[in-house]
């Protein structure tokens, strides 16, 4: 991650002013934005604009980057309510720290603020920019709905799962890249290639998340390994295991999923290894990573201008937590 660009976006988010009243409406917004995070969406937006000759710290780019990050955090506030999540980035979620109604209303304001920032980006073709954002924002919501649906559906296919993570996770990353390119007047062909780069990088990232939850080094992971297994979450690994399993292995997997605690994690991981889904997962991560690099390679700018995004993708793939 480029520390210089992250510092710029942090400064922009921290210097954003809010009315003092009603404080219950605005304090949660300050709070969620102060919790940090990778800032990957504004970061790639700035990098995409710079790739096509528009300085990352120009006002128009910063407004766009802020709008995308505020929208992302809005979606987290509302997702946390739906998931009844107690923690976000190790701190109390907005609905836990205040209450559910305040979290809904503060999130609503954040959505409006995201549009306020986007409109100030002074794009030559603001309508196309907003149209792209609207398309992606709706797809993100579709992804969240599918994710919630999957909690009560027993038979989810791997294809359905990949579609869900593309919508919920990869879409906004791809949109951030494309909008940065659009703002810098990139050709439609190049902007679309950058969008596909984002989709594949996002898929690779999310599948890697699933892999790390089960197979990360516990000393580096920072949270309990096997958390997804304990929570009965549908992941790439679980769905691939169901796909690969014989009827006898399928019965053993069902029995393992009914266990508790460490016994459950250990039994499921043994089956994952037996079924080769750890290796299948690694192959899927690499497949989407390579596809992302191919899309980046196809963009009609000098290799040195693509280097920051190429390096970012490599760093994302080398993480261990």
Over residues 167-195, the pLDDT tens digits come to 999 999 999 999 999 999 999 999 999 99
176 occurs within a structural domain? no
For residue 219, give the CATH number of its domain.
1.10.600.10
pLDDT tens sequence across 203-214 = 999 999 999 999
Q: Are 242 and 250 in contact (CB under 8 A)?
A: yes
d(C-alpha 310, C-alpha 316), whole Å: 10
- CA dist 130 to 76, 118, 166, 190, 191, Å? 21, 8, 21, 18, 15
104 domain residue, yes or no:
no
Residue 309 lies in a domain: yes
Lowest mean pLDDT among 120-124, 240-244, 268-272: 120-124
Residue 223: is its pLDDT beyond 70?
no
Contact partners, residue 152, CB within 8 Å, separation at least 6? none
- Is-contact 184 49, C-beta < 8 A? yes
User: Residue 225: inside a domain, yes or no?
Assistant: yes
pLDDT band at 218 (very low <50, low <70, confident <90, very high): confident
d(CA 120, CA 314): 33
| pLDDT computed for residue 122 by the predictor | 87
Statement: residue 261 has pLDDT above 90 = yes
Q: What is the pLDDT of residue 172?
A: 99
Cis peptide before 22 (omega within 30 of 0): yes
Stretch 22-27: mean pLDDT, rounded?
98
- Percent of the chain having pLDDT more than 90? 90
Average pLDDT over the chain reads 96
Domain assignment present for residue 214? The answer is yes
pTM of the model: 0.95
- Domain presence at residue 276: yes
Domain count, the chain: 1
Is residue 20 included in any domain, yes or no? no
Instruction: Report residue 221's pLDDT band, with 50, 70 and 90 as the boundaries.
Output: low
Cβ distance 51 to 2 under 8 Å?
no
The answer to whether residue 320 is domain-embedded is yes
Residue 269's domain comprises 202-321
**Run of H or E residues at 40:** helix 40-51
Return the SS3 of 15. coil
Say whether pLDDT at 275 is over 90.
yes
């Amino acid at each position: 991650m480029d520390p210089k660009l992250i510092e710029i976006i942090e400064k922009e988010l921290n210097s954003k002013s809010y009315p003092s009243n009603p404080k219950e409406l605005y304090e949660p917004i300050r709070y969620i934005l102060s919790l940090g995070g990778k800032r990957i969406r504004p970061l790639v937006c700035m990098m995409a604009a710079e790739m096509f000759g528009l300085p990352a710290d120009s006002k128009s780019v910063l407004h766009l980057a802020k709008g995308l990050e505020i929208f992302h955090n809005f979606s987290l506030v509302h997702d946390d309510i739906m998931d009844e999540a107690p923690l976000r980035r190790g701190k109390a979620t907005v609905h836990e720290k205040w209450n559910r109604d305040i979290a809904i209303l503060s999130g609503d304001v954040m959505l409006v603020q995201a549009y306020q920032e986007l409109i100030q980006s002074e794009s030559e073709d603001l309508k196309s920019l907003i149209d792209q954002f609207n398309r992606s924002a709706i797809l993100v919501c579709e992804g969240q709905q599918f994710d919630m649906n999957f909690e009560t559906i027993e038979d989810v296919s791997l294809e359905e799962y990949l579609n869900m993570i593309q919508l919920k996770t990869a879409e906004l990353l791809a949109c951030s890249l494309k909008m940065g390119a659009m703002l810098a007047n990139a050709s439609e062909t190049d902007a679309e290639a950058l969008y596909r780069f984002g989709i594949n990088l996002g898929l690779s990232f999310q599948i890697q998340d699933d892999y790390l939850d089960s197979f990360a080094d516990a000393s580096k992971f920072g949270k309990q390994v096997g958390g997804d297994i304990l929570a009965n979450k549908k992941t790439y690994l679980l769905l691939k295991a169901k796909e690969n399993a014989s009827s006898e292995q399928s019965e053993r997997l069902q029995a393992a999923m009914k266990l508790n605690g460490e016994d459950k994690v250990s039994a499921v991981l043994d089956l994952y290894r037996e079924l080769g889904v750890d290796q299948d997962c690694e192959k899927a991560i690499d497949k989407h990573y390579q596809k992302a690099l191919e899309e980046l390679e196809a963009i009609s700018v000098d290799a040195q201008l693509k280097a920051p995004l190429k390096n970012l993708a490599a760093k994302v793939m080398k993480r261990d937590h």
